[in-house]
Amino acid sequence: MFLSSKRSAAGILNFLTLLYVLSLPVFAQTRPGDDLRAKLTRDLERIAAEFDGRMGIAVKDLSGGESFAVNAETIFPQASSIKIPVLIELHRQAQAGKLRLTDRVELTRAQMAGGSGVLQRFGDGTSALSLRDLAVLMIVLSDNTATNILIERVGMESVNQMLRLNGLNQTRLQRVMMDTGAQREGRENLSTPREMAALLELLHAGKLLDAANTAAAIEILKYPKTTALRRGLPANVELANKPGGIPGVRCDSGIVLLAGRPYAIAVMTSFAQDGAAAENAIAEASRRVFEYFERLARSTSDGARLP
Segment 215-252, tens digit of pLDDT = 999 999 999 999 999 999 999 999 999 999 999 999 99
How would you classify residue 101: left for phi > 0, otherwise alpha for psi between -120 and 50, otherwise beta? alpha
Is 90 exceeded by the pLDDT of residue 26?
Answer: no
6 pLDDT exceeds 70? no
Residue 8 pLDDT level (bands cut at 50, 70, 90): low
pLDDT tens digits, one per residue of 146-185: 999 999 999 999 999 999 999 999 999 999 999 999 999 9
Is residue 258 predicted with pLDDT exceeding 80? yes
Long-range residue pairs from 16-21, CB within 8 A, at least 24 positions apart, any chain: none
> What does residue 109 show for φ and ψ, rounded to 5 degrees?
-60, -35
Q: 27-78, pLDDT tens digit by residue? A: 445 565 789 999 999 999 999 999 999 999 999 999 988 999 999 999 999 9
Checking if the pLDDT of 85 tops 70, the result is yes
Among 8-12, 96-100, 125-129, the least confident range = 8-12
pLDDT surpassing 60 at residue 21: no
pLDDT of residue 299: 82
Share of residues in the chain with pLDDT > 70 (%): 90
- In this model, does residue 261 exceed pLDDT 80? yes
pLDDT of amino acid 101: 98
Answer yes or no: are the C-beta atoms of 148 and 83 closer than 8 Å. no
- Domain 32-297: which CATH number of 3.40.50.300, 3.40.710.10, 3.40.1800.10, 3.40.309.10: 3.40.710.10
Q: Given its phi and psi angles, is residue 97 left (phi above 0), alpha (psi -120 to 50 degrees) or beta?
A: left
**Residue 200 vs residue 10, higher pLDDT:** 200
Between 22 and 141, whose confidence is greater? 141
Give the pLDDT score at 52: 97
| pLDDT of 300 | 81
pTM for this entry: 0.88
